[in-house]
Structure 1
Amino acid sequence: MAATFSTTQRDDIVTTAHALADAARAAVLPHFRTAALAIDNKEPSGFDPVTDADRAAEAAMREVLAARRPQDAILGEEQDATPGTSGLTWVLDPIDGTRGFMAGAPTWGVLIALSDARNVHLGVIDQPYIGERFLGGLGCAEWTGPHGGGALRTRKTTSLGLATLMTTFPEVGTTEDRAAFTRVAHGVRLVRYGLDCYAYALLAAGQIDLVIEAGLHAYDIQAPIGVIEAAGGVVTDWEGGPVLHGGRAVAAATPELHAAALERLKG
């Protein structure tokens, strides 16, 4: 059974989510497009970068939670998990798209979600440099930015042949994952790459129709789940099941389009 929240609780959660995004913006923007950006590699056998900006943004968000909601657990990408007593967990990705951040491209974002063991209750995708914020859950589905704001609503596309598909990396996971993705890509109208979490925001805003990715962690996908589902879309794993804890994800504007994508992914 999904958790229920009073109006006061909902207001506090949404206010906290905005405070987290504001804190991350303030921490990360001074590092963006600077020559002095410090970069470490978390995976010696490959390349999994982390920067001072990642660490600063997560630390700033954790300070907000310690002051506002110390009863909640925290799962973040850059620090150890913090236990809580409320049954709720804030899931934080201080910079989703660190490679894009390093390249100076505004395709990265700050991801914030509130979930329990079964459901995402709220998601935020924030792009600090552009100044856009997408929030979904607890009765909200809205965006704000330098050109105003409004309601989030996915497109009504039901045909794969009319869809725009996005993913971050052309490789899309394993060789088998890539083959499955290619089956979907061959059936859509347009494929674009490299937008990291911003692709999910565009789906929720009604600009594109599909996002398919693999190799995700909980902190990569929970915020997009909250935002896209609130906007009327569908997010599952490649088998049609829950993707709360990461793995292979497919996000679609409509149930019909989601079913068509799943059919091709399964081959």
Structure 2
Amino acid sequence: MLTTQDYADHAVRIAEIASDAARGYFRGRLGVEFKADESPVTQADKAIEDKVRAYLTQHFPGHGIFGEEHGFDGADRNDVWIIDPIDGTRSFLAGHPLFGFLLGYLQGGVPQAGVIGMPALGETFLGVRGAGATLNGAPIRVSDQTRLDRSILFVNEGDKIHRDYPHLFERLMQAGQTRRFAYDCYPHALLAAGHADAVIDYDLQPYDYLPVSAVVEAAGGVITDWDGQPLGLGSDGRVISAATPGLHGEMLALIKG
């Protein structure tokens, strides 16, 4: 019987395959289409997910697969892999190197292992439930920051937060010792590695936040929805991650105003 670490080893190998494929497309000529929600999808998104699905189907034929580009196969299965082939397609299109590859392994809807791959940076963050987190094989851990006024705070999807929650956005502009605007998965990876202290994120899908949650939690951090509830397949896509429970509590209080 395979252990969680065995699945994690497969996840790292898949990330290597996906990263190699992404680098082959990055800053090249890409055919771009737009989905119903106006989000872009490229040849690279589809090709990478196809490669990952082929690997998973070969090695884990009894598992479900939920990918951004091709949907959910085997939603009734206990073991599920969740894929975002390019997290940050708009960054990818712009030649910006902070796009990622996300992969998670779930049992009963609970992330057991997750990967945040950064193909253009050559970085692979791995989180294994109960076994810690690593960056390219070296152990990482969140910071010990407990105070929001001394924290490095990332505001992801700030334009959307400003549009839908203008009063919260105003409060965020007064929060933290250092604030950075960003998109996509990398701020959560930086938090897991101890470089950032808190991240607020918005309008995410399960394949965006569940792989990330495995890494953040394995590194000792806290990640929930904006109500402080655990993340799952049915969460609403509003996410906060923090290095410590105390800082997480301050973030929740900030959100509630």
Superposition TM-score, scaled by structure 2 size? 0.93
The 8 Å contact of residues 71 and 84 in structure 1, kept in 2 or not, is answered as no
- 1:137 maps onto 2:133 in alignment: no
Structure 1 match to 2:251? 261
Q: CA deviation at 1:196?
A: 1.4
The 8 Å contact of residues 145 and 151 in structure 2, kept in 1 or not, is answered as yes
**Count of matched residue pairs:** 254
The 8 Å contact of residues 171 and 178 in structure 1, kept in 2 or not, is answered as no
| Structure 2 unmatched ranges of 5 or more | none
The 8 Å contact of residues 100 and 119 in structure 2, kept in 1 or not, is answered as yes
Structure 2 match to 1:192? 180
- Cα RMSD between the aligned structures? 1.7
Q: What letter is aligned with 1:18?
A: V
Q: What letter is aligned with 2:42?
A: T
Q: CA deviation at 1:170?
A: 2.0
1:188-221 deviation line (CA, Å, top 9, x unaligned) = 1111112411111100000001110111100000
Structure 2 match to 1:23? 17
Q: What letter is aligned with 1:50?
A: V
- 1:112 maps onto 2:106 in alignment: no
- 1:77 maps onto 2:65 in alignment: no
Q: How far apart are the structure 2 equivalents of 1:124 and 1:135?
A: 5
Q: How far apart are the structure 1 equivalents of 2:4 and 2:110?
A: 15
| Structure 1 unmatched ranges of 5 or more | 1-5
Structure 1 match to 2:218? 230
Structure 2 match to 1:3? none
Partner SS state of residue 193, structure 1: strand
Q: CA deviation at 1:137?
A: 1.3
Q: CA deviation at 1:118?
A: 4.1
- 1:39 maps onto 2:35 in alignment: no
Q: How far apart are the structure 1 equivalents of 2:64 and 2:99?
A: 25
Structure 1 match to 2:232? 244
**1:53-132 alignment to 2 at 5 Å?**
53-83=44-74, 87-132=78-123
The 8 Å contact of residues 167 and 196 in structure 1, kept in 2 or not, is answered as no
Q: How far apart are the structure 2 equivalents of 1:182 and 1:196?
A: 21
Q: What letter is aligned with 1:53?
A: A
Q: How far apart are the structure 2 equivalents of 1:32 and 1:176?
A: 32
Structure 2 match to 1:14? 8
Q: What letter is aligned with 1:171?
A: D
Structure 1: which 4+ aligned runs deviate by more than 6 Å?
none
